[in-house]
Amino acid sequence: MAAVQPVRLALISTGGTIEKTYDARSGELSNRVSVLDMMLDSLELRGVALDRIALMNKDSLDMSEADHELIARVAGEQAARRDGVVIVHGTDRLAVSGERILSTWGAPAAPIVLTGAMRPYELRDSDALQNLTEALLAVQLLAPGVYAVMHNQVLRFPGVVKDPSLGSFVKLSAP
């Protein structure tokens, strides 16, 4: 029996709420240290070869146009070499990066999935682990394209936006 080749995924971290940690001295949640390794250690990722790429560790509201360009470039380059790409991103500007990836690469060679969290992993009622798990599964099942995966939904770009009243993402309907 031939050995099954693992699914080759890239996990690009950019920061955002999903990775924020609490600083007891200042009383602030901030992007100082990534918690992604702790999250990944709690998952059983059989059949997956995961390459972590720590691109930046920023609140997405602090991202510049150059940051979005960098995310798009690296995501497309990784999609050409992997079976899929997951990007952990802040939710406030996740749609900007998703649209930038789509406009830069059109149809990427492999699926690119952006995910994040509305509440940091360190909080008891966080959506972080659920969203990361969903993204890691979805990227293995989706056709090449650019997607947002959160809260039990898969939304394909273009037209994905954050709806603050829902605390999640929605797909704009075509006019």
CATH number at residue 57: 3.40.50.1170
Residue 47 lies in a domain: yes
pLDDT for the residue numbered 34: 63
In a domain, 28, yes or no: yes
The boundaries of the domain holding residue 23 are 11-162
Instruction: Quote the pLDDT of residue 26.
Output: 58
Residues 82-94, mean pLDDT to the nearest whole number = 96
pLDDT at residue number 150: 95
Examine residue 83 and state whether it is found in any structural domain, yes or no. yes
More confident residue, 78 or 20: 78
Question: Are the C-beta atoms of residues 169 and 163 closer than 8 Å to each other?
Answer: yes
Q: What is the pLDDT of residue 4?
A: 83
Q: What pLDDT, on a 0 to 100 scale, did the predictor assign at position 159? A: 97
pLDDT for 126:
86
Residue from 85, 83, 84 nearest 71 by CA: 85
**Tokens representing 171?**
């797909």
Q: Name the pLDDT band for 15 (thresholds 50, 70, 90).
A: confident
Tell whether the model's pLDDT for residue 87 goes beyond 90.
yes
- Percent of the chain, pLDDT > 70? 86
The answer to whether 21 touches 32, Cβ cutoff 8 Å, is yes
Domain count, the chain: 1
Domain-located, residue 144: yes
Does residue 105 belong to any structural domain of this protein? yes
The mean pLDDT of 50-56, rounded to a whole number, is 94
In a domain, 3, yes or no: no
Please state the separation of Cα 74 from the chain's center in Å. Answer: 13
